[in-house]
Amino acid sequence: MMPHYRIVEIFETLQGEGWNTGMPAVFVRFGKCNLACPWCDTDYHRFGMMTLTQIVAQVRRFSAPNIVITGGEPTIQPHLPVLLDTLKAEGYFLAIETNGIKAVPAQIDYTAASPKRLYRDVYRKRALACADEIRIVTDGTPEELFDFCQEIEQTIDAPRHYLSPCERAGEMNILETITLLGKLNARPDAPHWQLSLQTHKLAGID
């Protein structure tokens, strides 16, 4: 039987966050997540089922040569490798936005992992071995996050490290975020952390 997938939305926009900011991409947003962050900005419970053929047809209506697989949490989706094989065969560059607990399928070209301090005990038991970027949401005080950032540096091997302010009710904790950046970057011989904003929200695009 043709595999079916939980799909929240498929839309074309510019990647708003991290190293690939500005990259035109078709975003495929999957339903459900294995975490429940209180600041989550995605209604990942509201999804419909789509077949592999329907997803590929929808993606091809757009012109971007890149796909961002996101959610919800894409790594928990049944039959994900089958879909990725098909999209790869169509020639797409495949990026993924994951919370960094579960392994990412081999077809993925670029992995952005966003571990959550709230679930630090989970990451101590299970996490990705490597990623192309780590992007941590500043979901607490600089004191609370400093140790978690250091722990994740040891857990997930990555060449790029970002902090993303936590947005709740339209308010962003920029001061706490840059304070933490300063503390992390004051360490000698440690990874350099940079700011990543959700620029798509500032720009008023999807």
Ligand X SMILES: Nc1nc2[nH]cc(C(=O)O)c2c(=O)[nH]1
Considering Cα of 141, then 44, then 85, then 25, what sign does the dihedral take?
negative
- The secondary structure element, H or E, covering residue 122 is helix 120-125
**Site stretch for ligand SF4 (CB under 6 A), options 37-45, 59-67, 156-164, 181-189:** 37-45
The site map against ligand X for 26-65 (x = CB under 6 A) is: -x--------------x-----------------------
Amino acid identity of residue 20, one-letter, is N
Q: Which two tokens stand for residue 204?
A: 């008023």
Q: Does 82 bind ligand SF4 (CB under 6 A)?
A: no
Select 39 or 90, whichever has its Cβ closest to ligand SF4: 39
Q: Of residues 10, 14, 33, 56, which one binds ligand SF4 by CB under 6 A?
A: 33
73, 32 contact by CB (below 8 A): yes
**Residue choice 13, 42, 86, 199 for contact with ligand SF4 (CB under 6 A):** 42
Asked if 28 contacts 10 with a C-beta cutoff of 8 angstroms, the reply is yes
- Whichever of 13 and 150 has its CB closer to ligand X, that residue is 13
Kindly tell me which of 10 and 14 has the beta carbon lying closer to ligand X. 14
Q: Pick out residues in 65-94 that bind ligand X (CB under 6 A).
A: 70
Our CB check for ligand SF4 shows the closer of 37 and 52 to be 37
Please tell me the distance from the alpha carbon of residue 77 to that of residue 72, in angstroms, as a whole number.
10
> Alpha-carbon distance 196 to 199, whole Å?
8
3-state secondary structure of 96: strand
- Positions touching ligand X (CB under 6 A) are 13-17, 27, 42, 70, 97, 200, 206
